[in-house]
Amino acid sequence: MTATAIPTNPPGHPMIRRTCTRCGRALTSARSVALGRGPVCDRKARLAAQVVEAKPEQVAKALELLADGAVETLRPGRVWLVVASNGVDRYRTAPMACTCPAAVRGRRCYHEVAVSLLAA
């Protein structure tokens, strides 16, 4: 595997940012420097952008789930167990997948929105 050189500032050009715009940590790869954030912060930013695409009703339900403590971690940062709106059923949920009927039919559900907020 060959290392990629980190870009430098050509004379007369603006300063290239070498710290993450989200967390302030030093960026070590050329890709991260080009993006302006590291891989973890990039993933979190993409997940947060997906929440913005959710319907307002889904965001409200997701926030209610989080406030009620209806989200339990199964695999930290990856999979959660989310209580259904009936209070009985539980769904395995990741930021981009859920076992609820809506998600199985290919729709974005509020369970995914809730765990996206946790993962971000």
Give me the tens of pLDDT residue by residue for the chain, a chain 120 residues long.
Answer: 555 555 555 555 555 667 877 778 888 888 888 877 788 888 777 766 666 678 889 988 988 998 888 999 898 878 999 999 898 999 999 988 999 999 999 988 999 988 888 876
Domain span including residue 74: 43-119
Phi-psi region of 21 (alpha: psi -120 to 50; beta: other; left: phi over 0): alpha
Residues 67 and 96 reside in one and the same domain: yes
Is position 29 within any domain?
yes
Residues 56 and 76 reside in one and the same domain: yes
Is position 65 within any domain?
yes
Is position 83 within any domain?
yes
Nearest alpha carbon to residue 99 among 115, 86, 112, 113: 112
What is the rounded distance in angstroms from the CA atom of residue 78 to the CA atom of residue 46?
A: 15
What is the rounded distance in angstroms from the CA atom of residue 82 to the CA atom of residue 70?
A: 6
Residues 23 and 57 reside in one and the same domain: no
**CA distances (Å), 45 to each of 26, 49, 107, in order?**
17, 6, 21
Residues 33 and 59 reside in one and the same domain: no
What pLDDT does 2 receive? 55
Residues 70 and 48 reside in one and the same domain: yes
| pTM reported for the whole predicted model | 0.60
What pLDDT does 100 receive? 95
Is position 2 within any domain?
no
